[in-house]
Structure 1
Amino acid sequence: MSSPQVVSLSWGRMEHHPGVQPADVEEVLSRGVDTLVIGSGMNEMLQVQTSTLDLLRQKGVVVKVLQTEKAVAEYNDLVGRGARVGGVFHSTC
């Protein structure tokens, strides 16, 4: 598996309440990632539910929750190093 690089990021539209839930990361997990980078929004307003973090840790996945621009940079850095990384990015708030 090769993770795709993010080549563009801009202000978008999406719902964020109640935050990133376990169902939101299931597809990414099914791809066999070792690390999941979550972008918490341009102003870091998106929350990640405790149940989501618990699920990821139970599966042995390293989780990094960062401001979205920093999350994309971290994700691309990991991709560049050949890591098995997935990303969930919130492009607004």
Structure 2
Amino acid sequence: MTSPQILKVEWGSVNVIGAGGTFKDCKVWPGGSRAWDWRETGTKHEPGVQPADIQEVLDHGATTIIVGRGMNERLQVPKEIETYVTSHGANLKVFQTEAAVLEYNRLALAGGRVGGLFHTTC
């Protein structure tokens, strides 16, 4: 199963093609995507991404996870998240959201089992 491409990202919107739609924030993985609702896990800009945010992407078989921290990089990614991801046999890459989408698409087009979490505002 391939990871869907991201067609476009801009402030407040990310468009996933193939297995998705347009979302404010989203999660993507090999074969699918959905809205990333921070309320599900209590995620806030600080302390940031939670292990529960990442788990769904790992469960869908991603071996590399890209996190887009927002257009102004306000979303924090605690060091514990990298430990959590690597303990599940995957790699973590963290970028400003537009750069994260570029890296995600590069890996997805190369056939990688890539997943991601993308925050599209601050």
- Higher relative contact order by CA 8 Å / sep ≥ 6: 1 or 2? 1
Deviations 1:55-78 (A, max 9, x none): 101112111000100000000000
Higher helix share: 1
- Structure with greater strand percent: 2
Correspondence for 1:52 among 81, 84, 102: 81
Q: Over aligned residues, Cα RMSD in angstroms?
A: 1.5
Q: How does the TM-score come out when normalised to structure 1? A: 0.91
Q: Which runs of 5+ in 1 are unaligned?
A: none
Tell me how far 1:25 sits from its aligned partner.
0.8
- Amino-acid identity (%): 52
- Hey, what's the Cα distance between the residues in 2 that align with 1:39 and 1:25? 12
Q: Distance in 2 between matches of 1:52 and 1:91?
A: 20
Large movers: runs of 4+ above 6 Å: none
Structure 2 residue 47 is matched with structure 1 residue 18: yes
- State the partner residue of 2:115: 86
What is the TM-score of this pair, normalised by structure 2? Answer: 0.70
How far apart, in 1, do the equivalents of 2:101 and 2:66 lie? Answer: 8
- Aligned: 1:42 with 2:65: no
Alignment length (residue pairs): 93
Distance 1:43 1:11 in 2: 10
